[in-house]
């Protein structure tokens, strides 16, 4: 039996969503050590898996790798459509586990598009491969089409920059009991609507924040400046999505972000992907206070939810 383990990721936003610029998308995100996806697999004469989504990925993996079958079990998984990268991490964990269990080589970057992953952001694939804080190069804008491309017809965006996440940094995760984030056909429709009317100057402002604030903060190891930078990136991204999600942040995320921003130990807060997960950047010296700030944010918004703290993950998926 082979067991593959990989962590969640936070998606802070995109560099550009305007068709007026040369490159489109360009994801910014970071790998986390928790929560995790853990998938086990062993050879079989057919595909066996009780987890519906994992079974679909196992069937794709078996076909792509040209093997007879596999028995896949999901031991741990991420909440679905919560903004933590559940789809990509589960798909790639299944692919890697099937390959390892059947003595096949699997280039996850090359095969991810065949499984419908990595079409816009390359952050999920990059963090599965090597962890860290990642900026991807996006896609040439000329390739954009109003219809969703067929699976396998794209390449996962190249990693433009990657930095190790400093050991003392921590990431607060506040997950309210709210509807799942956009996914599937609804997400595709929303993203294309956003891209068709996105303001190019917003992307220009984000580019300045990334080059002058975010990347230097990573290089220097400053959690404070990094938190401030990713909060700015997320807020500007939210102006693109406001008509689609009901505000700069989707409800009730705005109230949670506002509350966390008042805490001196939370250096920046925002919405991961389509939410509802809210992140906060803090450090090892202020974990307890950050957790209290997360609980207070939920209480102030009068909503139930969970609060946890994760480290950054500086390695890719593990295979045992």
Q: Give a three-class secondary structure readout of the chain.
A: CEEEEEEEEEEEEEEECCCCCCEEEEEEEEEEEEEEEEEEEEECCCEECCCHHHHHHHHHHHHHHCCCCEEEEEEECCCCCCCCCHHHHHHHHHHHHHHHHCCCCCCHHHHHHHHCCCCCCCHHHHHHHHCCEEEECCEEHHHCCCCCCCCCCCCCCCEEEEECCCCCEEEEEEEECCCCCCCHHHHHHHHHHHHHHCCHHHHHHHHHHHHHHHHHHHHHCCHHHHHHHHHHHHHHHHHHHHHHHCCCCCCCHHHHHHHHHCCCCCCEEEECCCCCCEEEEEEHHHHHHHHHHHHHHHHHCCCCEEEEEECECCCCCEEC
Q: What is the pLDDT of residue 270?
A: 98
Contacts of 211 (CB under 8 A, 6+ apart): none
Q: For 159-192, how does the pLDDT look when each residue is reduced to its tens digit (9 = 90+)?
A: 999 999 999 999 999 999 998 877 777 788 888 8
Mean pLDDT of the chain: 96
Q: What is the pLDDT of residue 245?
A: 92
Q: For 142-155, how does the pLDDT look when each residue is reduced to its tens digit (9 = 90+)?
A: 999 888 889 989 99
Q: What is the pLDDT of residue 145?
A: 86
Q: What is the pLDDT of residue 10?
A: 98
Q: What is the pLDDT of residue 188?
A: 82
Q: Where are the domains of the chain?
A: 2-319
Q: For 99-119, how does the pLDDT look when each residue is reduced to its tens digit (9 = 90+)?
A: 999 999 999 999 999 999 999
Q: What is the pLDDT of residue 231?
A: 98
pTM of the full structure = 0.95
* Dist. CA 314–CA 317, nearest whole Å: 10
**Both tokens of residue 282?**
């803090």
Q: For 55-77, how does the pLDDT look when each residue is reduced to its tens digit (9 = 90+)?
A: 999 999 999 999 999 999 999 99
What integer is the mean pLDDT of 32-51? 98
Tell whether the model's pLDDT for residue 269 goes beyond 80: yes
* Dist. CA 67–CA 98, nearest whole Å: 9
* Dist. CA 258–CA 53, nearest whole Å: 35
* Dist. CA 175–CA 279, nearest whole Å: 9
* Dist. CA 133–CA 16, nearest whole Å: 18
Q: What is the pLDDT of residue 13?
A: 98
pLDDT band at 305 (very low <50, low <70, confident <90, very high): very high
The domain over range 2-319 is classified in CATH as 3.30.230.120:
yes
Tell whether the model's pLDDT for residue 301 goes beyond 80: yes
Contacts of 99 (CB under 8 A, 6+ apart): 61, 65, 105, 106
Residue 237: other Cβ atoms inside 10 A: 26
Q: What is the pLDDT of residue 248?
A: 96
**Both tokens of residue 182?**
């956009």
pLDDT band at 25 (very low <50, low <70, confident <90, very high): very high
Tell whether the model's pLDDT for residue 244 goes beyond 80: yes
pLDDT band at 91 (very low <50, low <70, confident <90, very high): very high
Q: What is the pLDDT of residue 207?
A: 98
């Amino acid at each position: 039996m082979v067991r593959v383990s990989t962590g969640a990721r936070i998606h802070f936003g995109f560099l550009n969503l305007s068709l007026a610029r040369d490159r489109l998308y360009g994801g910014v995100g970071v790998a986390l050590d928790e929560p995790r996806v853990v998938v086990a697999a062993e050879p079989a004469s057919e595909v066996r898996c009780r987890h519906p989504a994992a079974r679909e990925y196992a069937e794709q993996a078996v076909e792509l790798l040209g093997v007879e079958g596999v028995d896949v079990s999901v031991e741990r998984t991420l909440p679905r459509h919560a903004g933590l990268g559940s789809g990509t991490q589960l798909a790639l964990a299944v692919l890697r586990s099937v390959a390892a269990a059947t003595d096949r080589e699997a280039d996850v970057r090359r095969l991810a598009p065949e499984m419908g992953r990595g079409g816009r952001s390359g952050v999920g694939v990059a963090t599965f491969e090597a962890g860290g804080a990642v900026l991807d190069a996006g896609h040439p804008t000329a390739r954009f089409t109003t219809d969703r491309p067929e699976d396998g017809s794209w390449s996962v965006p190249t990693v433009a920059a990657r930095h190790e996440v400093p050991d003392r940094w921590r990431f607060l995760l506040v997950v309210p009991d709210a509807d799942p984030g956009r996914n599937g056909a609804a997400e595709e429709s929303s993203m294309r609507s956003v891209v068709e009317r996105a303001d190019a100057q917003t992307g220009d402002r984000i580019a300045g924040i990334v080059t002058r604030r975010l990347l230097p903060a990573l290089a220097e190891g400053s959690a404070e400046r990094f938190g401030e930078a990713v909060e700015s990136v997320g807020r500007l991204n939210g102006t693109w999505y406001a008509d689609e999600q009901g505000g700069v942040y989707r409800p009730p995320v705005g109230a949670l972000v506002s509350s966390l921003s008042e805490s001196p130990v939370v250096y920046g807060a925002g919405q991961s992907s389509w939410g509802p997960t809210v992140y906060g950047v803090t450090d090892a010296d202020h974990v307890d206070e950050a957790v209290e700030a997360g609980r207070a944010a939920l209480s102030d918004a009068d909503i139930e939810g969970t609060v946890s703290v994760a480290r950054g993950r500086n390695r890719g998926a593990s295979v045992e």
